[in-house]
Amino acid sequence: MELQKKLEILSAAAKYDVSCSSSGSTRKNTKGGLGNSAACGICHSWSDDGRCISLLKILLTNVCVYDCAYCVNRLSNDIPRAAFTPREVAGLTINFYRRNYIEGLFLSSSIVKNPNFTMEQLYESVRILREEYNFNGYIHLKAIPGADLSLIESAGRLVDRMSLNIELPSNKGLQLLAPQKTRENILKPMGFVNSKIVETKDNRKFFKSSSNFVPAGQSTQLIVGATLDHDLKILQLSEGLYKGYKLKRVYYSAYVPVSSNPKLPAIIKPPLLREHRLYQADWLLRFYGFNSSELLDEKNPDFDTELDPKSNWALRNMHLFPVDINKAEYEMLLRIPGVGVRSARKIMSARRVRSLDFDDLKKLGIVLKRARFFITCKGKYFTNIALNEFHIRQALTEKNKVAQDNWEQISMFSNLVELPSPEDKFMSLAGEI
């Protein structure tokens, strides 16, 4: 088969893997070698679906012995099949890399023959790149569940990131849709890789030259919407993975219908909004100091479609607001809806030299669309909306409601009931008008 055709089949087969980040590794170029990796990660292009292309994301082969219902490469699916040789993969990577198309390689594979054989093939591709081509760019390799741990370890010595996809958030889902896989089968190598990462880090404190192991950490992926699991279940799983296995990232992939199997939900469009909410919550877990129990509970096991998780949390905890921008701790600034890590840092540095008012916040580039309901500056509240859950929720979701016809054309003679602003209320109480 021609290389063109193979690339066509095997890149299309790999596209449902979401991960494409190239950050977290600082591998340096060697003398006479090619490439290095940038700790911040670099995107090289964006495909028509708006997702970044940083790595050459391909499968070694899409010939699979498994028959997982949600997967496009399942055994029973009638699609064209192809396989690269390890040398072809290495050649493609090097030539794309030299033209600055990519930051490195993301190599995955379906299971051919058995897990060990597949893992050996993956290892061989990576070995050729590192040892024969002296390639020092970024490599993300899939570890194959069920493969020998020693194979995974020797591959881990060569790559920057490893990942094992959990795909289905519950055991029940696995039994239903992927009966040949078990959860233990996936978690065991994940735990192994984690223990090796920790061990290597400790070793390198004393022996700088000792070989590195998966310096950019592990990641995994969960499919959203292929099973009936609630958001709460998914988020708790992610939290467990971040804490227990020190994962760098959990990716969420809205289920794109690839099969008409009766075990799968019949959906027309992938649940993109749900995926988006999960990512928002994921960021809250990793960078904002939230727990999953603060965001969701048994009573509300799914995210609100109208409001983002952070605004929702804030509305349920109105007793903590409003926050004084000039005095609040960094941790509390981070909890204001609409204020992110960058904004919070800007506020922290700007207020060291000058106390801030609302104009200053605008100049700092802080988005006040949501934040204005939750903050005060120099003792002043910014909006004329009462500081309670009901009114703020209404104001935040207003945009969606304009479409409904609860508005009226104002005439010269209509009597408008004017709501007193908080300042008016205060003035009437204090008696200074």
Partner 1 sequence: MINYIYDGTFEGLLTAVYEAYYRHEAPLHINSTTNVQQSLLDINVHITTDTEKASKVYNSVREKISYQALKNIYHAYLSELSDIEVHILQYIKFGFKEGKNVDLYLSDDRVMAVHSAVKKVMHEQHLMLGMLRFKQLEDNVYYAQYTPDHNITNLISSHFARRFSDQNWIIHDLKRKYAAVYDRNSCIFIDIDDEFQMNYVDKSDNYEVLWKNYFSNICIKERVNPKLQKRNMPGRYWKFLTEKQI
Q: Which positions touch partner 1 (CB under 8 A)?
A: 3-4, 7-8, 11-12, 14-16, 28-29, 32-36, 38, 40, 42-54, 56-57, 92, 95-96, 98-101, 103, 254, 256, 269-270, 272, 346, 349-350, 352-354, 356, 359-360, 363-364
Helix (H) or strand (E) holding 158: none
User: Which CB sits closer to partner 1, 4 or 209?
Assistant: 4
User: Which CB sits closer to partner 1, 43 or 387?
Assistant: 43
User: Which CB sits closer to partner 1, 265 or 420?
Assistant: 265
CB of 339 to partner 1, least distance (A): 15
> Alpha carbon 115 to chain centroid distance?
27
Helix (H) or strand (E) holding 416: none
Helix (H) or strand (E) holding 342: helix 341-350
User: Which CB sits closer to partner 1, 138 or 303?
Assistant: 138
Q: Which token pair is 11?
A: 């890149």
Closest by CA to 371, choosing from 317, 320, 335, is 335
Following DSSP, what letter does each residue of 11-34 receive, concatenated? HHHHTT-------S--PPPPTT-B
> Alpha carbon 133 to chain centroid distance?
32
User: Which CB sits closer to partner 1, 226 or 392?
Assistant: 226
CB of 19 to partner 1, least distance (A): 13
CB of 335 to partner 1, least distance (A): 21
Contact predicate 75/67, CB 8 Å = yes
CB of 71 to partner 1, least distance (A): 14
Contact predicate 369/383, CB 8 Å = no
CB of 348 to partner 1, least distance (A): 10
- 237 Cβ neighbours under 8 A, 6+ residues apart: 166, 169, 222
User: Which CB sits closer to partner 1, 242 or 382?
Assistant: 382
User: Which CB sits closer to partner 1, 54 or 200?
Assistant: 54
- 38 Cβ neighbours under 8 A, 6+ residues apart: 22, 23, 103
CB of 326 to partner 1, least distance (A): 13
CB of 355 to partner 1, least distance (A): 11
β-bridge mates for residue 56, sequence order: 105
Task: Give me the phi and psi of 34, to 5 degrees please.
Answer: -125, 130
Q: Which amino acid is at 326?
A: N
CB of 44 to partner 1, least distance (A): 4
The Cα–Cα gap between 241 and 248 comes to 9
Strand order in the sheet with 249-254: 55-59, 104-108, 138-142, 161-163, 218-224, 249-254
User: Which CB sits closer to partner 1, 57 or 196?
Assistant: 57
